[in-house]
Amino acid sequence: MKHVVVIGSSNTDLVAKTKKAPVGGETVLGDGFLMTQGGKGANQAVAAARAGAKVVFVAKLGKDVFGDKALSGFKKEKIVTKYITRDKTAPSGIGLIVTDENAENSIVVASGANYKLFPSDIKKAKKEIKDAACVVLQLETPEKTVAYSVNLAYKYNVPVILNPAPARKISKEILKKIFLLNPNEKEAEFLSGVKITDLKSVRKAAAKLKAKGVKNVIITLGKRGVFAAGSGFEMMVPAFKVKAIDTTAAGDAFTGGFAFAFANKKDFYECITFGMATAALTVTKRGAQASLPNKSQIAKFLSRQK
Task: Quick: pLDDT tens for 41-74.
Answer: 999 999 999 999 999 999 999 999 999 999 999 9
What pLDDT, on the 0 to 100 scale, is given for residue 36?
A: 85
**Residue-level pLDDT at 101:** 84
Determine the pLDDT at residue 243.
86
pLDDT at 21: 84
pLDDT, position 277: 95
* Mean pLDDT score, 198-206: 95
**pLDDT of 287 above 80:** no
State residue 8's pLDDT score. 97
Which numeric CATH code is attached to 4-22+31-304?
3.40.1190.20
Give the length of the chain: 306
Domains of the chain by residue range:
4-22+31-304
* 32 band by pLDDT with thresholds 50, 70 and 90: confident
d(CA 288, CA 36): 7
* Longest CA span, the chain: 52
Mean pLDDT of 229-239: 91
Please say whether the beta carbons of 278 and 298 come within 8 A. Answer: yes
pLDDT confidence bin for 255, thresholds 50/70/90: very high
Where b means 16+ CB within 10 Å and e means fewer, 229-246 reads bbeeeeeebebbeeeebb
pLDDT recorded at residue 96 = 87
Q: Has residue 253 got a pLDDT over 90?
A: yes
As a whole-number percent, the residues of the chain with pLDDT over 90 amount to 77
Quick one: what percent of the chain has pLDDT higher than 70?
100
Alpha helices in the chain (DSSP H): 40-51, 65-76, 119-123, 126-130, 143-155, 172-175, 185-192, 199-211, 250-263, 268-282, 295-304
**Catalytic (active site) residue 252:** yes
Measured CA to CA in angstroms, residue 180 lies from 41, 62, 229 at distances of 16, 31, 10
- Cis peptide bond N-terminal to 166, omega within 30: yes
**Residue tagged active-site, from 68, 131, 252, 267:** 252
Please check the confidence at residue 211 and state whether its pLDDT lies above 90. Answer: yes
pLDDT computed for residue 23 by the predictor: 83
Query: Does the structure show a pLDDT above 80 at 38?
Result: yes
Residue 286 has pLDDT above 90, yes or no: no
Query: DSSP secondary-structure letter at 19?
Result: S
- Residues 29-36 have a mean pLDDT of 87
Would you say residue 248 has pLDDT above 80? no
| Nearest Cα to Cα of residue 192 among 206, 178, 172 | 206
pLDDT of residue 289: 86
Residue 69: which region, alpha, beta or left (left: phi > 0; alpha: psi -120 to 50)? Answer: alpha
Across 248-266, average pLDDT = 94
Q: What is the pLDDT of residue 48?
A: 97
What's the pTM value of the predicted model, to 2 decimals? 0.91
pLDDT (tens digit per residue) in 133-180: 999 999 999 999 999 999 999 999 999 999 999 999 999 999 999 999
